[in-house]
Structure 1
Amino acid sequence: MSFMDQPRAGNAFAREVIDGLRDWLATDGAVWLHLFKTLLAAFIAMGLAMRFELSQPRIAMTTTFVLMQPFSGMVLAKSVYRFAGTALGMLAALVLGALFVQQAELYALGLTVWVAACTALAVRHRQFRWYGFVLAGYTAALIGVPVVTAPDQLLLATLTRGAEVMIGILCSSVVSALVLPRHASATLMTTLAQREASFNAFAASVLRGGLERRARERRYASLVDEIVSFESTRRVAAYENPALRRQRTLLAQLNNAFMDACARLHTLDQAIKRLRATDGHAGLAVSLNELADLLDSSRCDEHALKRFGMALSERLAEPSHIDVTTCVELLCRFTSDIARLMRMRASIASGEQQRSSRDDRAGPRYAATTHRYVVAATFVRSGIVIAAVAWFWIATAWPSGGLAVIAATLACALSSAQARPAKFVTQMAAGAAFATMLGYLYLCHVYPAIDGFPLLCAALAPPLAAGAFVAARPATAGYGVGFCVFFCLLAAPDNVIVYDPGLLLNNGIAIVVSMLVAAIACAVIVPPHTPWLVGKTLAALRAQAALACEGRLPELNERFHSGTHDLMSQLLGLLAPRSREHRRALAWMLVTLEVGQAMIDLRMLRAALNMDAAPAPLRSAWSSSIAQLLHDIAMLFRAPSTVTLRRAISAVVSSIFATEALLERLHAPHEARDVRRMLACLHFIRSALVDPNAPFGMHR
């Protein structure tokens, strides 16, 4: 190697080292960073609580393990709701203690109703609001149960527990925001670009017909997860980035536009599939391939898509076979949706914001819904578990029964968001059992040999880091959560350590037994994956098509798509992948999107249509046929059967005849174009209803 080549080799080696370090930080390094920050926040919280001479620093320590998340925005969001939930739980503990002074039976009944109601509301209001309701429930138990027979200590216990929890919140937020922070907002923009490229490639494959049916269905199912995940990340990013907070309406509109494009792509896919057997497909294949090539190329931008859409619009104005007209109309709308997506992403990337504070507050909202029967089942299940454990505690005067009630409350609360709560609680029980055994070793052998706070932190770091690592894995999260939470509650040091191994073992046994009772109840008492309960969620999914027929038109498109995708996301979590029930739910989602989107397009065209030139009897007959169609389609999706299917098909056919008669009497070009679009919507709805692969046949 020459003298001149040595610096070049050194620069190349340095670049390789830097690239390798970046890759490590993005993968394994991110995990180690999360563990380091979690332990740092926990030890700072424990140290501050000890310095302030609070009675149970372990509560502050436990708070950090429950609160810490990989991204700063997640911690800040959870901190806001944890603060509100803790304050509400403190108030509930004071009210229950004041109403039922030294009346353990009535106190247990009131606490059961309160915790069950909070858990049910947590299921109803998901994402980070779930956390606020969960905290409101088990904070009341954590404060009130230990002093149920000592009301004179209730106020002091409430203030002390509140201070310990707030210290944990503060430490988690400060460490997450200041110590090597990771921002979801940075991930958000990268995710947007990747999602757009992936969707364009998928759309090109669909347009060329290069994917089999099962592959397309799996991809549509993954799009549901992407939509729900983006909505969650968008809300998290708003807490950590003021610029994105000012752009929240644009981001919400972008996600709604993506939902529109996904639904339109499937609708177009179905129309192309039904057209392939006809002669009209040969003439349309050129346009399909042209758009597919455009989506695959680097020259795909908003202007190129608009030019392509204008050429298609001119073709739509020409009389043609109804099947071809339907496909051209759907292709025009899909092209417009893709161009809209690109325009909005460019606006967000350039930092564009709303023009006024009113516009910033307005805009579409993501409609997260949970069926009322799911909420009721959660209330009943949680109430039975807590009431059973509390009754056993009171009836037997079990010394560790109060901690068993607290553990049952924690189990019901933390598992309420799980699709398989029995499995999650069983994992928590196993983690708690291991925490009890390890806590015994620490209490008997480790703590007596420790002198000083730094050595205490060094001794606690290995087991807590291992627990946090296990909790970060979705498949083993229950083990890690159970270990970290109950190791802190059972064996974490206080200002004055009580060296009583017998008490620790009794408390550990109480916790494990109560969580096993909760696991059995979750497996027996209307678990979330019960076919009857899944059927209710599926019925709510189908009812979204009825919403498309009957809902108010302002923001109807956003409410329809977000509600449909949110309900489908719940079903995907409940059903085993590639099972018969999974495919059935996916089929219902796709047909709901097909027909619901077509009904919304039909209603919007109808609202904008001026029919003054048409005779009054013809207008009246046409309006009556459309109204009957809206009613029959809504009834079909609410109660699918052979009878309602036939009525819906008959109503579509009648509307097609009435619309064709109306088209003959309209001479203005723009009015005739809108009526042709309505005719294309009606024809597509009829094709979807008579499709042999549609799920309506499952109810015949």
Structure 2
Amino acid sequence: MLLIKPLLAFRPNKMDWIFATKTFVAGMLALYVAFSLNLAYPIWAIGTVFVIANPYSGMTSSKSIYRILGTLLGAIASVVVTPLLMNTPWLFTCFLAAWVGFCLYISLLDRTPRSYVSMLAGYTAVIICYNIIYYADTVSIFDMAIGRFLEITVGVVCSAIVSTTIFPLHIGPAVETRVSKTIQDTNALFDQILLDQKQLHHYNQLLGNITRDTSDIHTMAVHLSYEKSSLQGMTKPLQEMLHQLTVLVANLVAMSERMKQLDQIDLTYRTSLKAIHTHIAEFLKDGHEIKPQELNLLPNQFESDFDALVASARPEQVIILNGLKMDIRHFIQNVRAVKLIWQRIQQGDDSLPESMSPLTTTYPSLHRDHGVAVRGGISAFIIIMISTAFWILSGWKAGFMLAEMAAISACILTAMDNPVPALKIFIRANIYAAVMVFIYAYGVFPHVTTFWELVLVLAPFIICCLMLFPHPPLTGLGLPLLMGTIMGLNLHNNYSLDQIAFFDASIGSLIGLIISVYVIHIVRAMSPDITVQRILAMHYKAVRKALYLPYGTEFKQHLRSMLDRIGVLNGKAAVQSQRLNKEIHLALIETSAVIDLTRLQELIEKLPEQASIVSSIENLQQSLDDYFRAKEMQRPHTDILQNLLHSLAVVQSATDEVENSDIAQRLKISLNNICSSLCHQNTVNGAKQKTLAVS
């Protein structure tokens, strides 16, 4: 049975009842207005209400606007193209398939809620065009497009009125709670990393969870401009704060890696570290308002505390401790940057301090998978070509429903790694919907004569389906079951149901879904292991790119995208391969050290051009490039790693000849971090010994 266990365990709460009742009222209002205006297809008005339904008013409003824009673009495309290509069916089919494929490609690249615009523009054009062909003798092209736009608009307006006036639930407080929790989590992890030796090796998964949470909040923040809450209009500064927050993740990972190195040598340093932690914790918990000019302040005892720590440590720990000091200093400064932006947001100030370079761009620096987008677009193209060809060649009058449903199902779930299981649930839900249509049409509607009676008989079924919406495991059942029933009933002012047309449409819809399932299974679907391999390849490519980026805004944006990619990786379904699980774990560690790659380039520019160490560093950069290129291409890299470790050892030896002690120390710190976090070796000296032993 379909989702039988989750359904039996489901217990709607108060908020579920409020959401379902509000949405039902909005749907009935949209249906009544559509009846009153005598629109051709009132089902699109009520269906729109259910498609955009969300417990949060901001999400409902934003999706409403995106749906109107997407419908408008699809309607314009259909009006422009249909008169030109209507008499050349195969060329027309190719154009529509290419249009949907392109729109889906753009949609899959945009990981914000705006992606709904381009996806809807794609399959809306197909729906309008195929309806125009089906009803060519009775409806004009322009009237069909305008009618569809008006029906969608009625649903959107009714939904907005109800969601914003009856017990509105704003997303602002939810975002505020998530942000506060994430900030608390980073502070708690800082405390644990410095104090809790036993749990040090388990922090990377928790840090990965924070990157996933920040990616989720980044998406939620888009909706803040569409509601009246305390955070209204704060999308850009909030996303900027999230950029800064993700940098904290890199700081925390770097600290944990340095401490793992230190623990392997000697644990005595931890006694002095507790006093350092106490001073830092008191400094960070200071509730006073942070001023922009105080952004880079450190605790008064910071330098003296670390001087005492380094003086009491073993000689082989000194470089690592200096690296830890640098990571902790950056952590403190980034925490204060996050607090300053959050402080301003809560005061209603959407500006950034002048000293802070904004990382937010018009095209946000987030992970984007062009391969998945291309395969999604190709699968949509093939699905529409096959389904429409079936309609054309068979001459089946109801084939247009087959082609429409194939186009819709080709788009709506393609963002998933493997949409096939969800599409199978979609198919079953449509079968159950056909049964519900039959019951209503032949068992209930013959006794319904007024609108209020219609409302009364629809209420139990619709409200029950709507209560499933806020619960992700059950949404895949509730939405297609409800939409399949509403669309199948095809409510009109003068209601009648043609039995032959009903069965034809039901069968056609199922065939269209089956075509989508098979094509997506062959072209688009990927196992979690394959998905993770592809994302890891992009991660290794991003590490290589960091080798040649100067430290600055461009690098920070690049680091932001890398950390977002880690969040995506941690949000994937569990993979079967232990090797891949280990590489996911190591990817976060590697990301924390990419800043040391930019420091290599920075230090080269500060060294004399003729110095022999410059060529040694350039050889090291090339070895790093070769190593991560081999990992990206999934080629054997054991020999390349040995060459890389040799290059590291050569540069390490050459640092003793650098006259500038500050540059020499910074170079030693970066070499240690690269060896530990990118090559996953204990120390540079250890790597050197290992290399000599091999040679």
Tell me which interval the TM-score lies in, with the shorter structure as reference length: 0.7 to 0.9
The one of 330, 339, 353 aligned to 2:327 = 330
Q: Which stretch of the first structure deviates more once superposed, 340-349 or 400-409?
A: 340-349
Q: Are positions 1:37 and 2:22 aligned together?
A: yes
Deviation at 1:137, TM superposition (A): 1.0
Compare relative contact order (CA 8 Å, sep 6+) and give the higher one, 1 or 2: 2
Residue equivalent to 1:287 = 273
Are the counterparts in 2 of residues 203 and 292 from structure 1 also a CA contact under 8 Å? no
Instruction: Please list every run of 5 or more consecutive structure 1 residues that lacks an aligned counterpart in the other structure.
Output: 1-26, 667-671, 695-700
The one of 90, 93, 118 aligned to 2:78 = 93
Alignment of 1:178-327 (within 5 A): 178-210=165-197, 212=199, 215-241=202-228, 244=231, 247-279=234-266, 281-288=267-274, 290-291=276-277, 295=281, 299=285, 306-307=299-300, 309-311=302-304, 321-327=318-324
Alignment of 1:386-397 (within 5 A): 386-397=384-395
| 1:441-490 Cα shifts (integer Å, max 9, x gaps) | 11112222122222212221221222222233212222122112221211
Q: Quote the Cα distance in structure 1 between the aligned partners of 2:281 and 2:397.
A: 69
Secondary structure in 2 matching 1:277: helix
Are the counterparts in 2 of residues 90 and 162 from structure 1 also a CA contact under 8 Å? yes
Are the counterparts in 2 of residues 471 and 480 from structure 1 also a CA contact under 8 Å? yes
Amino acid at match of 1:655: V
Deviation at 1:567, TM superposition (A): 2.5
Residue equivalent to 2:677 = 688
Deviation at 1:79, TM superposition (A): 2.2
| 1:119-177 Cα shifts (integer Å, max 9, x gaps) | 12211112212211111011111111122262872111111111111111222222222
Residue equivalent to 1:168 = 155
More helix by share: 1
Are the counterparts in 2 of residues 435 and 487 from structure 1 also a CA contact under 8 Å? yes
Amino acid at match of 1:480: G
Aligned CA distance change for structure 1 residues 676 and 521 (closer, same or farther; 3 Å): same
Are the counterparts in 1 of residues 57 and 169 from structure 2 also a CA contact under 8 Å? yes
Residue equivalent to 1:480 = 478
Deviation at 1:406, TM superposition (A): 0.9
Residue equivalent to 1:669 = none
Secondary structure in 2 matching 1:203: helix
Residue equivalent to 2:401 = 403
Aligned CA distance change for structure 1 residues 251 and 625 (closer, same or farther; 3 Å): farther
Amino acid at match of 2:299: K
Deviation at 1:675, TM superposition (A): 4.6
Q: Quote the Cα distance in structure 2 between the aligned partners of 1:606 and 1:41.
A: 65
Are the counterparts in 2 of residues 234 and 251 from structure 1 also a CA contact under 8 Å? yes
Secondary structure in 2 matching 1:128: coil
Secondary structure in 1 matching 2:468: helix
Aligned CA distance change for structure 1 residues 497 and 606 (closer, same or farther; 3 Å): farther
Amino acid at match of 1:263: A
Aligned CA distance change for structure 1 residues 289 and 309 (closer, same or farther; 3 Å): closer
Amino acid at match of 2:640: T
Residue equivalent to 1:154 = 141
The one of 657, 664, 667 aligned to 1:661 = 657
| 1:12-40 Cα shifts (integer Å, max 9, x gaps) | xxxxxxxxxxxxxxx93222222122112
Deviation at 1:544, TM superposition (A): 1.9
Deviation at 1:440, TM superposition (A): 0.9
Q: Quote the Cα distance in structure 2 between the aligned partners of 1:657 and 1:262.
A: 32
Q: Quote the Cα distance in structure 1 between the aligned partners of 2:111 and 2:370.
A: 14
Are the counterparts in 2 of residues 660 and 679 from structure 1 also a CA contact under 8 Å? no
Are the counterparts in 2 of residues 305 and 339 from structure 1 also a CA contact under 8 Å? no
- Percent identity of paired positions between Structure 1 and Structure 2: 19
Q: Which stretch of the first structure deviates more once superposed, 214-223 or 105-114?
A: 214-223
Are the counterparts in 2 of residues 549 and 631 from structure 1 also a CA contact under 8 Å? no
Q: Quote the Cα distance in structure 1 between the aligned partners of 2:172 and 2:372.
A: 33
Q: Are positions 1:645 and 2:634 aligned together?
A: no
Q: Are positions 1:617 and 2:607 aligned together?
A: no
Aligned CA distance change for structure 1 residues 471 and 252 (closer, same or farther; 3 Å): closer
Amino acid at match of 1:189: E
The one of 136, 140, 164 aligned to 2:121 = 136
Alignment of 1:428-577 (within 5 A): 428-529=426-527, 531-532=529-530, 534-551=532-549, 553-576=551-574
Amino acid at match of 2:481: F
Instruction: Please list every run of 5 or more consecutive structure 2 residues that lacks an aligned counterpart in the other structure.
Output: 1-11, 291-296, 632-636, 684-695
Are the counterparts in 1 of residues 119 and 411 from structure 2 also a CA contact under 8 Å? yes
The one of 336, 339, 342 aligned to 1:339 = 336
Q: Are positions 1:379 and 2:384 aligned together?
A: no
Aligned CA distance change for structure 1 residues 531 and 583 (closer, same or farther; 3 Å): closer
Amino acid at match of 1:633: L
Secondary structure in 2 matching 1:394: helix
Deviation at 1:348, TM superposition (A): 2.6
Aligned CA distance change for structure 1 residues 332 and 171 (closer, same or farther; 3 Å): same
Aligned CA distance change for structure 1 residues 602 and 42 (closer, same or farther; 3 Å): farther
Aligned CA distance change for structure 1 residues 592 and 494 (closer, same or farther; 3 Å): farther
Amino acid at match of 1:286: S
Q: Quote the Cα distance in structure 2 between the aligned partners of 1:312 and 1:154.
A: 77
Q: Are positions 1:676 and 2:669 aligned together?
A: no
Are the counterparts in 1 of residues 417 and 528 from structure 2 also a CA contact under 8 Å? no
Residue equivalent to 1:177 = 164
TM-score by length of 1: 0.85
Deviation at 1:399, TM superposition (A): 2.2
Deviation at 1:227, TM superposition (A): 1.2
Amino acid at match of 1:168: G
Q: Quote the Cα distance in structure 1 between the aligned partners of 2:668 and 2:553.
A: 23
Aligned CA distance change for structure 1 residues 530 and 113 (closer, same or farther; 3 Å): farther
Are the counterparts in 1 of residues 675 and 681 from structure 2 also a CA contact under 8 Å? no
Are the counterparts in 1 of residues 276 and 302 from structure 2 also a CA contact under 8 Å? no
Secondary structure in 1 matching 2:547: helix
Are the counterparts in 1 of residues 30 and 154 from structure 2 also a CA contact under 8 Å? yes
Deviation at 1:63, TM superposition (A): 1.0
Q: Which stretch of the first structure deviates more once superposed, 83-92 or 594-603?
A: 594-603
Are the counterparts in 1 of residues 550 and 601 from structure 2 also a CA contact under 8 Å? no
